[in-house]
Structures are given as structure tokens and as C-alpha cells.
């Protein structure tokens, strides 16, 4: 058995353990963190928790090798998206191999990468520059966990040379990603019989004005897309993900909630693009209050994840291209990740991990065994590079 085959087998075994923990973002990830801490301790590696305020979720930070500058951060999120209502053909929390594919929630996004990093810990024993393992929580709901951990890395660790975020990319380097910002508008009216609309305020009717404004803005953003953009779709995209309002056809709706997202390429800020819409919300709020003092329209920011910009002569991209042997044109992706947060803290950052985003968030999510093997080769080459 070759070293790559042995590391692949170890990683698949670890992946089975990681998948078995239901770390859907709405719940806790502490059972998985406990397991990883124990595993690392068994290999002589200390780790540090950076918890959320409630104490029911945690990041985990561990360093393998000497406490010197120039190390590499391997970053992965431990949370996964829900499986509710999805037609899985096997237990989503039991890793199942069929036809060279490993099925399980998070297998591609992104417990496969975490499993590879953990499996490679024994291979990192001889490194002269450290490998820092950075595992986060709540990436899927808005990248809420990583910032506190990134602050600890910047403050307490010898400066790393670069960060590899292991989102699924087919083990090919990705230079940039779009941002993702999520927003909520809550319109509050006053209930009345639908035959007497003059006695109340319909939140749904008022919200329809804002829904139309968002649809118009989405069309404007599409029309303004730069044809030379490396992203696909080319420009910023806006979609309304949820509309919830009213109780019955013959009752004026007391409340209507609109949740939407805005995906921006590097160089754009979601809140800037929403300046006009936010003014419309404020104008609607004033008009509603003029009809009823308890009526309102309120704009809220749920999350605002920054994009990651391709770096000119980026150290991270060059390093990963050297390990993978990839000489393809620059790649960017439309989904958001923690890469922009690391980059914003001053770290040269690249995305590279096993699997493909098309397989993530789906029923029967999987990562190919061959992708895990390519990841194992990557980890072995990383160990060699840091041992020089």
C-alpha cells in the first residue's frame, strides 16, 4: 500500500466518524469537537476551543509542528445543511460507499477535507513550519463562527504564510468567490375584515411594493453585469428566498416577512447596492405609520459575508498550484465561503478541497474516493513542502 493509499484509508475512516455527527447548523457541533479533540490528543496535538456566546457551539484551533512563522492554515467548517424533506437513499449520517462514491451529509461540504487534514497529522510530524487546523461552526448560516477564530490566529499564532480553505473544488485551486449577504424586511400592519380594508393596514399589500422593488433591482443588477467578469453568473445576483405573511383570505395581514440574498463579486458591497431599496423601506415605514402608529417596515441585516478577491501573484494560490501541479486559468466560484474573512484579516487565501459544489446540499451528497485520494496526495506534498 502506498503512502497515499494509506492516508486515503485513514481519512475515509475518519470521515465516517465525522459524518455520524449531526452537525446541522441549527444544533450543536460539540459532539464532533469532542471527538476531534480526543483524536488530536491521541496524536500528541493540543487544541483550543473558541466558543460561541451561548457555549453550545465551538471553533477548534490546533497547531502541528513548531511555533514559528510561515505555517499553513487548513480551514474547514464543521456544520452542515439540513436533510429535512430530501429523498436520501441511505442514512445521511452513516457514511456509505457505493461505486467509488462516499455518501453522507457533509461528505463533500466539507467534512472530507477535515478528514484528510486530520488523517495527515502523523505525516506532519517532521514539518519545520507548522500546519494550523482551523475548524469553524455556523458557516452555512452566514459564516458566523470563523471571525472569532481568525482573530485568535492573527493575535496569538506566529504569522502563517497562507490559508487553504477546503471547500469542494475538485482539488483544484480557486482564486476568488462572491460574497453572500442575507436580509430580512418585516412589514407590520393592522388586522381587519377584508371587506373593510379602510379599517386596517394589510402588511401583505404593503410588502408587495417592496417585492416589486427587489425584482426590479435584480433585473438592474443583471443588466449591469460586466461581460468580462470571470464569475458565472457575471454580475451580482439578488433572489427572494422566502415570503411569509397573512392568516386567511378574508383577514388583512398583520405581518409579512421577506427574506432575500444578494451575492456580490469582489469590489462591490451589498449594502451599497441596497441604498435605494433601504430608502424605499424607510419611505414605506413613514407612510404606514401615518395610517397607524403601530404599523412599520423594518430592514434587517441577517449576515454579510465578504467576497474573496483573486490576489495578484498570490502566495496561497502559487503554493497550492505547486502542490497540485495545476496550471489551468484562474478559477472563481459564485458561492460564498470563509475565504473572504481570512483574506480580510490580511492572510493570503485560496480555496482547494475534495469533491464538487454540485454534489453539496443535495440528497445523496457524496465525495468520490478518487477525490479523497487526490486530497491525500495533496496532504503528503504539503508535509514534504513544510519539512524543507
Catalytic residue among 22, 37, 79, 167: 79
Q: Which three cell numbers stand for residue 355?
A: 469533491
Q: What's the Cα-to-Cα distance from 149 to each of 59, 134, 307, 344, rounded to whole Å?
A: 7, 8, 18, 13
**Which residue in 22, 37, 138, 139 is the catalytic one?**
139
How many Cα atoms within 13 Å fall on the side-chain side of residue 38?
Answer: 9
Kindly compute the dihedral angle of the four CA atoms of residues 82, 85, 86, 92, in this order, to the nearest 10 degrees. Answer: 50
139 is known as an active-site residue? yes
**How far does CA 377 lie from the centroid of its chain?**
25
Backbone angles phi, psi at 361, to 5 degrees: 65, 5
Q: What is the largest CA-CA distance in the chain?
A: 80
Round to whole Å and give the CA distance between 73 and 60. 12
Cα–Cα dist 166/77, whole Å: 9
- Give the number of other CB atoms < 10 A from CB of residue 196: 9
C-alpha grid cell, residue 174: 480557486
Active site members:
79, 139
Amino acid at each position: 500500500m502506498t503512502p497515499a493509499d494509506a492516508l486515503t484509508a485513514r481519512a475515509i475512516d475518519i470521515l465516517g466518524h465525522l459524518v455520524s455527527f449531526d452537525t446541522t447548523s441549527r444544533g450543536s457541533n460539540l459532539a464532533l469537537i469532542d471527538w476531534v479533540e480526543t483524536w488530536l490528543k491521541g496524536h500528541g496535538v493540543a487544541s483550543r476551543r473558541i466558543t460561541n456566546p451561548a457555549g453550545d457551539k465551538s471553533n477548534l484551533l490546533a497547531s502541528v509542528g513548531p511555533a514559528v512563522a510561515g505555517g499553513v492554515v487548513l480551514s474547514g467548517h464543521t456544520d452542515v445543511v439540513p436533510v429535512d424533506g430530501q429523498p436520501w437513499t441511505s442514512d445521511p449520517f452513516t457514511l456509505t460507499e457505493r461505486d467509488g462514491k462516499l455518501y453522507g451529509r457533509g461528505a463533500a461540504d466539507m467534512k472530507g477535507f477535515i478528514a484528510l487534514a486530520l488523517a495527515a497529522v502523523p505525516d506532519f510530524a517532521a514539518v519545520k513550519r507548522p500546519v494550523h487546523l482551523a475548524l469553524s461552526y455556523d458557516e452555512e448560516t452566514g459564516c458566523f463562527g470563523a471571525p472569532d477564530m481568525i482573530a485568535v490566529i492573527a493575535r496569538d499564532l506566529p504569522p502563517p504564510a497562507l490559508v487553504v480553505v477546503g471547500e469542494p473544488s475538485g482539488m483544484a485551486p480557486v482564486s476568488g468567490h462572491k460574497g453572500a449577504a442575507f436580509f430580512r424586511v418585516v412589514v407590520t400592519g393592522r388586522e381587519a375584515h377584508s371587506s373593510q380594508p379602510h379599517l386596517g393596514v394589510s402588511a401583505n399589500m404593503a410588502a408587495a411594493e417592496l417585492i416589486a422593488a427587489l425584482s426590479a433591482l435584480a433585473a438592474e443588477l443583471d443588466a449591469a453585469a460586466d461581460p468580462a467578469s470571470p464569475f458565472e453568473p457575471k454580475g451580482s445576483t439578488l433572489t427572494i428566498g422566502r415570503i411569509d405573511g397573512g392568516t386567511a383570505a378574508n383577514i388583512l395581514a398583520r405581518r409579512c416577512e421577506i427574506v432575500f440574498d444578494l451575492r456580490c463579486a469582489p469590489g462591490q458591497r451589498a449594502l451599497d447596492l441596497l441604498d435605494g431599496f433601504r430608502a424605499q423601506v424607510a419611505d414605506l415605514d413613514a407612510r404606514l405609520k401615518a395610517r397607524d402608529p403601530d404599523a412599520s417596515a423594518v430592514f434587517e441585516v441577517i449576515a454579510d459575508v465578504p467576497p474573496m478577491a483573486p490576489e495578484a501573484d498570490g502566495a496561497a494560490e502559487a503554493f497550492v498550484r505547486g502542490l497540485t501541479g495545476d496550471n489551468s486559468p484562474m478559477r472563481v466560484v459564485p458561492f460564498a465561503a470563509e475565504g473572504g474573512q481570512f483574506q480580510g484579516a490580511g492572510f493570503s487565501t485560496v480555496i482547494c478541497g475534495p469533491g464538487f459544489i454540485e454534489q453539496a446540499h443535495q440528497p445523496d451528497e457524496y465525495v468520490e474516493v478518487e477525490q479523497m485520494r487526490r486530497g491525500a496526495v495533496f496532504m503528503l506534498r504539503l508535509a514534504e513542502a513544510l519539512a524543507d
